[in-house]
Chains A and B, each alone.
Chain A
Amino acid sequence: MECSELTERVVDRLTEQAGEASLRELEDHLAACVACREEALLCERAWSGLEGDPEAAPTPEFRRRTLGLIEDEMLRARIREFKPRRSWPRFAAEAAAVLIAIAGGFLLARRGVIPAPATASTAAASASPEAILRDNPRLANVSYRAGSDGKLEVGFDVTSRRTVAGRPDDPEMAKLLAYLLTRNAETAGEKSRAIELVSQQYRPGALASPDIVSALTATLRKDPNPGVRKKAADTLAGFSSTPEIRAAFLEALRSDHSPSVRLTAIDALAASAAGAPDPNTIESLRERAQDPQENGFVRAKAASALRNF
């Protein structure tokens, strides 16, 4: 064995992966070479120097939260999007109905009769979304589709299959989306999906409907799942800031258990207060930046936001 092989051989011995022959050669060499003996001692000291790291066991809180997430994810994995197969006669009938509607519209327009603009409309149902939601029904097999002209189509089963179409800012559609988020979604997976749907419907900086804002701020305040709260926070952060949104972020910054939610709250508060920071925002950020118990990243971000003011 050469002196140049020493560290490699010692590392093999420390990781218990040296063969018998290699170990014997190493020991013979160490017995004969003083410099390598000292070098080997340094390697062993470095290896044992890593011992003083206490093992970090999962806390009961971490266990509870993670098992909750796992359960939600298992449920989510079982949910498959409902896609009814389309039969040819039905497809032909629908196509004919569309053609008749187009022709009717064209004739009405030529005669100068303009129908009232449609807001959220229901297909295969005479009742409005408000009437459907009056009794707090459980909406099953919810499916979403981006329709034409920025409209959204939300399909679901109540007593029969319904489809509601409308722009996300139509009051009726906003009510339906808020309902799906706050009352209908039961698992974290369903809630996340509903939030994603809402977030896809708004351009960054858009003014969201009050129903949507209330639903998301309630989710941010109350949902037990940090992943869902983070999604709600991300979506709210994308909206044009309002006093209700700012209040929810201030509360999240003060009391949310998840550092990632608090980080999003800092970003959102800093962005909304960029021009004229209000005393509440400054005070809350200062508290976070100076709290020695706070997560390092949160403290750093709060300090950075304050510095930018």
Chain B
Amino acid sequence: MKSAVSDDRELLGRIKAGDTEAAGELFEKFAPALLRFATRLLSDRATAEEVTQEVFVKVISRAHQYDGRAEVSSWLFAIAANACRDRRRRDRRATVVPLEGLPEPPAKGEGGEKRLMDRQQRDAVRRALSCLSEEQREALILARYHDMPYAEIARVLDISVGAVKTRIFRAVETLKSHFAEGAATWNAAN
């Protein structure tokens, strides 16, 4: 039986050979994870979708550069992490109005309450993640939501395993204070 890693390499080999179906299979396999990664890093669904599209276009045009040293999934996440960094840099230059004051769209129709709760949960997580530095957020998201071992995160972010551990450690330290403050505020208000 073939391993998932060799399956992924085979897919990339077929893409290099011009097999469009293989590119579709790669999309089906990795798009959900890459989209979630980008959404959490960028905190904006529409921008995350654009970045994920860019990632797949880059993967196809750079398939010949894949040297097989890292797993295909690590390579894809590395491209996604770089694309998110580029996008943040560009958006920092372009955006001049702070977004905090802009109202969120109201939840409408059936299941509105559930959607409202989902949104509140999502906002709470996003607020927590936004307390972290970009570097801490990248490492933490890969560890927390993508179950990546330290060594793989190190390959994706092109840093040492020690640096990965430090970033996650510091992220947890920051989150500890964030959630403790949140609980204290909640207790005081109630």
Contact = CB atoms under 8 A, between A and B. Distances in A.
B85 interface: no
B99 A66 contact: no
Interface stretch (B66-74, B75-83, B118-126): B118-126
A263 interface: yes
A7 B169 contact: yes
B160 interface: no
A71 B20 contact: yes
A51 B49 CA distance: 22
Interface string A24-49: 00000000000000000011011101
A67 B95 contact: no
B96 A300 contact: yes
Contacts of B118: 54
Contact of B18 (A50, A78, A260): A78
Is chain A's interface secondary structure helix, strand, loop, or mixed overall? helix
B161 to A, nearest CB: 10
A57 B147 CA distance: 18
Nearest to B95: A300
Contacts of A52: 121-122, 124-125
B18 A47 contact: no
A161 interface: no
Interface string A176-195: 00000000000000000000
Contact of B176 (A46, A69, A260): A46
Interface residues of A, number: 53
B32 A69 contact: no
Which range holds the interface residue count of chain B?
35 or more
Interface of B is mostly: helix
A206 to B, nearest CB: 24
A66 B56 contact: yes
B113 to A, nearest CB: 14
Contact of A73 (B39, B60, B175, B179): B60
B49 to A, nearest CB: 5
A303 interface: yes
Interface of B: 15, 18, 20, 23-24, 27, 31-32, 35-36, 39-40, 44-50, 52-53, 56-57, 60-61, 91, 94-99, 102-106, 118, 121-122, 124-126, 128-129, 143-145, 147, 149-150, 165, 168-169, 172-173, 175-176, 178-180
CB-based closest 4 A-B pairs: A52-B121, A46-B175, A53-B125, A300-B97
Interface of A: 7-8, 10-11, 14-17, 42-43, 45-47, 49-58, 62-63, 65-67, 69-71, 73-78, 227, 258-260, 263, 292-293, 295-297, 299-301, 303-304, 307
